[in-house]
Amino acid sequence: MVSLWTIKAALLQVPSLKLNPFERRGRRLRLLATTMVRDERDSLPGMLRSVGPQVDGIVALDDGSGDGTGGILEQSPHVIEVLRNPPGRPTWDEPGGQKRLVAAALRQGADWIISVDADERLERDFRSRAERVFRRGSRLGLSAFVVHFREIWDSPDRYRVDGIWGKKRAARLFRALADHEFDERPLHGSKAPLQGKVLGVFPFADLVIYHLGMMSREDREARRDRYLRLDPDARWQPDIGYAYLTDERGLRLRRVPAGRGYLE
């Protein structure tokens, strides 16, 4: 029996084929990236190389870094505004940071926003594919999308596809809205505006974000342990908890497609 979720997902998929050079185009929309970082000196340069050329600017929030992350942001030609939190803050305020980032992106004239973390990369043709999503989505009245979220595993050219891993999606691409309805959950909240849901789910766009922060076993164990400290009762992820982050039963990996790879 086909689930209601499957029916909804099928109805709300927006393809992202590259632009047809003969297709009529309107004004190029201003796409800004937002990112919130803390002590990401090692991961951040790769993200800036991957994301910077595909957007019209990056708005960043440096959450009290002490390792030189702020200097990397200041020196990047792709970063158009750096917000700062003072060092020494023990709590990662994800909803508060997201509110500041969206407000800054609106000040910078964003039409659309893609939210990325320092350990993530966009597929190489993300922008050209996204342009078609913007236009078709606008015609359908859609303002937010989930995209493929692929976990790079053990090697830079492999991602995990078994079980929950092959179904991972993240609501990261959305229209810049002055009335953005924020998800107030302290962990695992949606970056996209909640009013962007249709029939209770975010529409899907065939775009890819690669996550490199789980590539090594050590990274996976550290991530699991971090969330167990922050959310020991799995209140904010009750369905699956956090043990799955290091569970390799049934492990299946797939090679990153040549036509949809990413810049490390």
Tens digit of pLDDT for each residue in 73-122?
A: 999 999 999 999 998 877 779 999 999 999 999 999 999 999 999 999 99
Stated as kind and residue range, the H or E segment containing 150 is strand 144-151
pLDDT at 139: 94
Helix, strand, coil percent values for the chain (each to nearest 5): 30, 25, 45
Query: What is the distance between the alpha carbons of residues 70 and 125, in angstroms, rounded to a whole number?
Result: 28
1: confidence class by pLDDT, cuts 50, 70, 90: very low
Percent of the chain with pLDDT over 90: 86
Tens digit of pLDDT for each residue in 25-75?
A: 567 899 999 999 999 999 999 999 999 999 999 999 999 999 999 999 999
Query: What is the distance between the alpha carbons of residues 40 and 21, in angstroms, rounded to a whole number?
Result: 39
pLDDT at 94: 92
Percent of the chain with pLDDT over 70: 90
234: confidence class by pLDDT, cuts 50, 70, 90: very high
Query: What is the distance between the alpha carbons of residues 203 and 8, in angstroms, rounded to a whole number?
Result: 8
Angle, vertex CA 21, rays to CA 55 and CA 127, nearest 5: 15
- Beta carbons of 65 and 43 less than 8 angstroms apart: no
Judged against a pLDDT cut of 50, whether residue 230 lies above it is answered with yes
pLDDT at 16: 58
Tens digit of pLDDT for each residue in 157-192?
A: 999 999 999 999 999 999 999 999 999 999 999 999
Judged against a pLDDT cut of 60, whether residue 151 lies above it is answered with yes
pLDDT at 2: 40
Indicate the pTM of the whole model. 0.90
Architecture label for domain 29-178+186-257:
Alpha-Beta Complex (3.90)
Q: Is 254 exposed, middle or buried (0-12, 13-18, 19+ CB in 10 A)?
A: middle
For the chain, what are the domain ranges?
Answer: 29-178+186-257
pLDDT at 23: 46
Judged against a pLDDT cut of 60, whether residue 3 lies above it is answered with no
